[in-house]
Amino acid sequence: MRLVNNKYMGIKSNQGITLIELIIGMAISSIVIGAIVMFMAAGSRGYQTAQSEISLQTEAQTIMNQIREHVLEGNNTQFDVTDKVLTIYHSDGNPGTTTDPVELIWFNSADHHLYLYNTTMSQKNTVLTDIRNGLTDIDNLMGEYVKDFTVTPGNLFTYDSTGTTGTTITVELQLSYNNRDFSLTEDMKLRNRIVTIP
């Protein structure tokens, strides 16, 4: 019986993969898997950024719509820069009386929320004092993620039959969420006749 050399017969030996081939295969697999992970992470970050921006824009517009609704029905407004409180007066007569309804929109910088308080002219100062001392009931939430809240002009309007004194306020909101910021500014005109506040 004659032995035939496999080399000359064209038959390859099946010895498995070498260590070098294994290392090269693992390196290529690591590169491919790393690229996939980076691609997915970038997509996830982009999605989170877009969601944060949409949340801020929606929240800002919702807050602004609520403020506009209250302002349009008011007879006068006043903004306290120190306490960040917008006072909206509602009155049937001129001048305003102690029983007339008043709405207070307060920005709490501690929890970054806006709150709404319904009170009367006679109770307004008591509620403002409670706000300053942190004694208020804060269940009347108007909005979240608020970074700053300003209204100009801050002073009361004076009744003028010619309308030259103006009846428009400018409300500015700044919101922040997930390291994203959004600002919204809107002019609002009081629809009702200006009432002199005593």
pLDDT in tens, 57-107: 999 999 999 999 999 999 999 999 999 999 999 987 766 678 899 999 999
| Cβ-contact 53, 179 below 8 angstroms | no
Question: What is the CB neighbour count within 10 angstroms for residue 103?
Answer: 21
Interval 114-142: pLDDT, tens: 999 999 988 988 988 888 887 776 668 99
Dihedral pair phi/psi, residue 49, rounded to 5°: -65, -45
| Cβ-contact 53, 145 below 8 angstroms | no
Q: What is the pTM of this model?
A: 0.73
Give the helix/strand (H/E) hosting 68.
helix 19-72
Locate 106 and state its tokens.
């307060």
